[in-house]
Amino acid sequence: MSVATAETGVTHEPTVPEQTSDGVAPRGVALSVALHLVLGTVFILGLPRLFAPPIPEELPVAVQLVTIAPETRATRPNPNAPRPNAKPDPPVADAPVTKPEPEPPVPAPVPPPSAETPLPPELVKPPEPKPAPPLPVLKPEPKPEPPKPTEKVEVPRPKEKPEPPQQMAKNESKAEQKKYDPGQFEALLKNLAAQPSAPSPDAPPQRPRVASAKPSSQPRAPLGSQLSASEMDMVREQIARCWNVPAGARDAKDLVVEIKVVVDPDGMVRQATIVDQTRLGGDPFFRAAAESARRAFFNPLCRPLHLPPEKYAIWKDLVVDFSPKDIL
């Protein structure tokens, strides 16, 4: 077996002995292996470029390190600050009205009635507000839905096809380029020092769409019987618009909220159930995030969901994973 291979110097090649033992011409096999090896090496390393000019050495590029600009933006509103209301709070530097309010009735925030009336000075030490045992449920709720666990939410749908949502969606689309740009969340963390690189609302840096690249988003189905990428994107965008993220919280990175959704043929979500019921009870932050995610499906902007009616069979049961990991 190793007779022939000795001269080619590839005795260590493990596949050779096996093949020769089968009785195939040993010399031919050895030659073939050798040639393949050569071919493989050439393939990996590439042909030597004997006559190519030497690659010019990278010249160091002079970079001027500039300290923080003396100009501040502290008094400028954070372009993407999460506060749409322009309440005239006295001399506050922050009234970012970057977001046109999409919802039809935009009531102004409450003027704090009598908020600042100082009480008589003898209120040195607050007596006893004595938090009486917090009533978990003040009185039995007149809402007997015994068969359903509390987490399953059924929302009675308006009888007729709701005009308002449609309209809102339209209004929304006008504002949405500005409002839901992907760079929004980086801008959430304001940093004066890094301000120059902060994304402007008009030219958001396109961040890689983590979610859309995920294979898990795609149902394994023959082509034609699954949602197209653009259909998927559309509903993803829509749900993202309905999800009011509890931002700025600790450990938000590790959080994934899984919600099972049952959708009616008209795109209305009939039921949205938080899957991880155990964590729902024990982790207040998870509960807040999970409920905010579930709320998304009952937001008028997501009623109905924009899904292709002819593919109802595919989307009548959805599992939606909400994860704020890209946000903080």
Partner 1 sequence: MTRNPLMFAGAVTAVLALLLHAVSPARAELRIDITRGKVEPMPIAIPAFSGSGGDENQTGQEIAGVISADLERSGLFRPLDPRSFIQNVSATDAQPRFGDWRQINAQGLVTGTVLTQGDGRLRVESRLWDVFAEQQLSGFGYTTTRQNWRRIAHIIADEIYKRITGEDGYFDTRIVYIAEAGSQAKRTKRLAIMDQDGANNRFLTDGRALVLTPRFSPTVQEITYLSYANGTPRVYLFNIDTGQQEVVGDFPGMTFAPRFSPDGNRVVMSRAENGVSNLYSLDLRTRQPTRLTTSQAIDTSPCFAPDGSKIVFNSDRGGSQQLYIMGANGGEARRISFGSGKYGTPVWSPRGDQIAFTKIDGGSFFIGVMHPDGSGERLLTRDFLVEGPTWAPNGRVLMYFRQSPSDSRGYGGSARLYSIDLTGSNQREVTTPQDASDPAWSPLLR
Q: How far is the CB of 167 from partner 1 (least distance, A)?
A: 13
Q: What does the alpha-carbon distance between residue 295 and residue 289 come to, in Å, rounded to a whole number?
A: 10
The residue among 56 and 129 lying less far from partner 1, judged by its C-beta, is 129
Residue from 57, 128, 160, 163 that binds partner 1 (CB under 8 A)?
Answer: 128
Q: What does the alpha-carbon distance between residue 219 and residue 317 come to, in Å, rounded to a whole number?
A: 12
Q: How far is the CB of 241 from partner 1 (least distance, A)?
A: 6
Q: How far is the CB of 318 from partner 1 (least distance, A)?
A: 5
Asked whether position 84 contacts partner 1 by CB under 8 A, the answer is yes
Asked whether position 27 contacts partner 1 by CB under 8 A, the answer is no
Q: Single out the residue of 250, 218, 253 nearest to residue 327, CA to CA.
A: 253
Which tokens in the block code for residue 176?
Answer: 């949405």
Q: How far is the CB of 59 from partner 1 (least distance, A)?
A: 28
Asked whether position 125 contacts partner 1 by CB under 8 A, the answer is yes
Task: Compute the Cα dihedral for 238, 241, 243, 249 and give only its sign.
Answer: positive
The residue among 53 and 156 lying less far from partner 1, judged by its C-beta, is 156
Asked whether position 103 contacts partner 1 by CB under 8 A, the answer is yes
Q: What does the alpha-carbon distance between residue 7 and residue 10 come to, in Å, rounded to a whole number?
A: 8
Asked whether position 127 contacts partner 1 by CB under 8 A, the answer is yes
321 contact partners, CB below 8 Å, separation of at least 6: 256, 257, 258, 259
Q: Which amino acid is it at 130?
A: K
Q: Single out the residue of 213, 212, 216, 292 nearest to residue 252, CA to CA.
A: 292
DSSP state of 273: E
Which tokens in the block code for residue 324?
Answer: 């704020």
**Under a CB-based contact definition with an 8 Å cutoff, are residues 102 and 172 in contact?**
yes
The residue among 2 and 244 lying less far from partner 1, judged by its C-beta, is 244
State how far the alpha carbon of 122 is from the alpha carbons of 16, 56, 115, 127, in Å: 97, 81, 18, 11
Asked whether position 254 contacts partner 1 by CB under 8 A, the answer is no
The residue among 30 and 296 lying less far from partner 1, judged by its C-beta, is 296
Asked whether position 141 contacts partner 1 by CB under 8 A, the answer is yes
Asked whether position 308 contacts partner 1 by CB under 8 A, the answer is no
Task: Map residue 262 onto helix, strand or coil.
Answer: strand
Asked whether position 82 contacts partner 1 by CB under 8 A, the answer is yes
Q: What does the alpha-carbon distance between residue 265 and residue 261 come to, in Å, rounded to a whole number?
A: 13
Residue from 51, 143, 203, 278 that binds partner 1 (CB under 8 A)?
Answer: 143
Q: What does the alpha-carbon distance between residue 140 and residue 326 come to, in Å, rounded to a whole number?
A: 41
Which residues from 45-64 bind partner 1, rule CB under 8 A? none
Judge if the upstream peptide bond of residue 265 is cis by omega within 30 degrees of 0. no
Q: What does the alpha-carbon distance between residue 285 and residue 297 come to, in Å, rounded to a whole number?
A: 20
Task: Identify which range of 2-10, 30-38, 47-55, 106-114 contacts partner 1 by CB under 8 A.
Answer: 106-114
Asked whether position 117 contacts partner 1 by CB under 8 A, the answer is yes
Which residues from 177-236 bind partner 1, rule CB under 8 A? 179-180, 182, 184-185, 188-194, 210-211, 214, 216-217, 219-222, 225-227, 232, 235-236
Asked whether position 36 contacts partner 1 by CB under 8 A, the answer is no
Q: Which amino acid is it at 221?
A: A
Residue from 119, 144, 160, 196 that binds partner 1 (CB under 8 A)?
Answer: 119
The residue among 32 and 292 lying less far from partner 1, judged by its C-beta, is 292
Which residues from 268-297 bind partner 1, rule CB under 8 A? 283-289, 291-296
Number of residues that bind partner 1 (CB under 8 A): 128
Residue from 21, 177, 244, 277 that binds partner 1 (CB under 8 A)?
Answer: 244
